[in-house]
Amino acid sequence: MAIRFASLFATAAIAALALTACSPDEAAIDEVSGSGSSEETAPLVDDATVAALTGEPIEAGSLSRPSLAAKIDNHPSARPQVGLDEADIVFEELVEGGITRYLAVWHSVLPAEIGPVRSVRPMDPEIVSPFGGVFAYSGGQVRFIQAMQEAPVYNAIHGQPDTEETFYRTSAKVAPHNVLVKAPELINEHLDLAAPQRMFDYADSVANSTALASGMAMASVNARFSGFSSPTWEWDGTQGAFLRFQTNGAADSASSGNQISATNVIILNVGIDVVEDIPTTRLVNQGTGWVFTGGSYIEINWIKATEESPIVLSTTAGDPVLLGQGNTWLELVPNDSSDVDAAVVTIN
In the chain, the largest separation of any two C-alpha atoms, in whole Å, equals 55
* Alpha-carbon gap, residue 178 to 173, rounded angstroms: 5
Q: How many CB atoms lie within 10 A of CB 292?
A: 28
61 pLDDT tier (thresholds 50, 70, 90): confident
Question: What b/e readout covers 227-240, taking b as 16+ CB neighbours within 10 angstroms?
Answer: eebbbbbbbeeeee
Same topology, domains 11-34+59-188 and 201-347? Answer is: yes
pLDDT tens by residue, 203-239: 999 999 999 999 999 999 999 999 999 999 999 999 9
| pLDDT grade for 10, boundaries at 50, 70 and 90 | very low
The whole-model pTM stands at: 0.89
Q: Which of 6-15, 169-178, 240-249, 335-344 bottoms out in mean pLDDT, i.e. has the lowest?
A: 6-15
Q: pLDDT at residue 20 above 90?
A: no
Fold of 201-347: YerB-like fold (3.50.90)
The average pLDDT across 89-106 equals 98
**Domain 11-34+59-188 maps to which CATH number in 3.40.710.10, 1.10.8.60, 1.10.3720.10, 3.50.90.10?**
3.50.90.10
Look at residue 29 and tell me whether its pLDDT is greater than 80.
no
Band of pLDDT at residue 26, cut at 50, 70 and 90: very low
Domain ranges of the chain: 11-34+59-188, 201-347
- Report the percent of the chain where pLDDT is more than 90: 85
Given CA atoms 228, 294, 296, 219 in this order, what sign does their dihedral have? Answer: positive
